[in-house]
Amino acid sequence: MWQLIAQAQPQGVQNTIDTLARTPISLIVYIAGIATLLRLVLFSYTKAVPTHQRGTGWNIARIANEALDAIVYALVFVFLLIRPFGIQAFTIPTGSMVPTLKINDYIVANKAVYRYSEPVVGDIVVFKPPARGLPDYQKGQDVDYIKRLQGVGGDVVEIKDYVLYRNGKAIAEPYVHYTRQTGNSSEFVDIPKTDAPRWDFKLVKHKGEYWPVLYNENSLNDFGTVPPEYVAADPNEQEQLRAAQPVAIPPGFFLMIGDNRNNSFDGRFWGLVERKSIIGRAEFIWFPFSRWGSVR
């Protein structure tokens, strides 16, 4: 069963940190402004009180002033400098990257690295999906996905008989697993790849656009999770797509695919990601502590 397992989007109480990390800049500026005004009032008060009159009220005002000072510096440093240009925390609510990333892993993404370098094949990337990559219930929402980069501009990527080929060369993928969910929706167990549906993949040029094509001997882009833009209802059009030769990814675009190969809603379904939509590279898992380590 193909599932919508793609996002690095917060869900539930356990995602408080990620929710805080997404606080709008406008709100941060507003809070920092209010804190600054309060600090100025308290500072003026504490300076105006003569030394011999400084009692409990003065001490409370001084402590509050110092706390507000710390809050302002923290807001400016973390939310206006570090978050936009440095790093950001995310949580993983779904299993598209199992076992590399598991549900409820907390990760840190490096947002600075792609400011001075280009994403490379093998990177685990946080990005904004194209609109067609969002299910209906998430349309218009601020959603981030996390996947492994499998193709850059100029690459021809295919999947045939469970094997990924890049520019005609079979790629060893030790990180790829085929799984099924247990009774606990957050747990996945490995299954033989031959027990998973076999869907070959290629990117083709069709109607002047780049179409992702998932197919086997009986079907082609005809299951519910394929966006309607890429559904070919006409049998003749399906035959054209089946016969079409794979094409290279155009410059400035990227192909993202999940490691949990049969449980990932990714570029095989909805196509390519633009360079401007890339947020950062996943660097390490920081919680739970038993999972602490780099992400590769």
Per-residue pLDDT tens over the stretch 79-124: 555 555 566 788 898 899 999 999 989 998 888 889 889 999 999 9
User: Is residue 7 over pLDDT 50?
Assistant: no
Q: Which tokens belong to 195?
A: 């027990």
According to DSSP, residue 128 is labeled P
According to DSSP, residue 184 is labeled S
Sign for the CA dihedral angle at 128, 141, 18, 36 comes to: positive
- Of the listed 44, 102, 117, 147, which one is catalytic? 147
Closest CA to 287 of 110, 124, 102: 102
Distance CA 197, CA 105 (A): 27
Element (H, E) at 271: none
**% the chain with pLDDT above 90:** 53
- Of the listed 96, 102, 111, 264, which one is catalytic? 96
Query: What is the pLDDT, as a whole number, of residue 231?
Result: 93
**Residue that is written with structure tokens 């999972």 in the block:** 291
According to DSSP, residue 250 is labeled P
Q: Give the relative orientation of helices 56-74 and 25-48 as an angle to the nearest 10 degrees.
A: 150
pTM: 0.76
Distance CA 99, CA 103 (A): 9
Range from 63-67, 133-137, 172-176 that averages highest in pLDDT: 172-176
**Residue that is written with structure tokens 């001490």 in the block:** 59
Query: What is the pLDDT, as a whole number, of residue 2?
Result: 35
Query: What is the pLDDT, as a whole number, of residue 73?
Result: 64
Query: What is the pLDDT, as a whole number, of residue 244?
Result: 96
Q: Is 117 one of the annotated active-site residues of the chain?
A: no
Distance CA 151, CA 159 (A): 12
Distance CA 144, CA 109 (A): 12
- Selected residue with higher pLDDT from 32 and 235: 235
Largest Cα–Cα separation, the chain: 93
129, 6 Cβ separation under 8 angstroms = yes
* Average pLDDT of span 268-291: 94
User: Is residue 61 over pLDDT 90?
Assistant: no
Where is average pLDDT lowest: 45-49, 168-172, 271-275? 45-49
**pLDDT level of residue 281 (50, 70, 90 thresholds):** very high
Please state, rounded to an integer, the average pLDDT across all residues of the chain: 85
User: Is residue 11 over pLDDT 90?
Assistant: no
According to DSSP, residue 196 is labeled S
Query: What is the pLDDT, as a whole number, of residue 48?
Result: 83
**pLDDT level of residue 22 (50, 70, 90 thresholds):** low
Q: Which tokens belong to 23?
A: 């606080």
Query: What is the pLDDT, as a whole number, of residue 220?
Result: 94
- Selected residue with higher pLDDT from 91 and 195: 195
User: Is residue 169 over pLDDT 90?
Assistant: yes
274, 265 Cβ separation under 8 angstroms = no
220, 213 Cβ separation under 8 angstroms = yes
Q: Is 147 one of the annotated active-site residues of the chain?
A: yes
- Selected residue with higher pLDDT from 234 and 61: 234
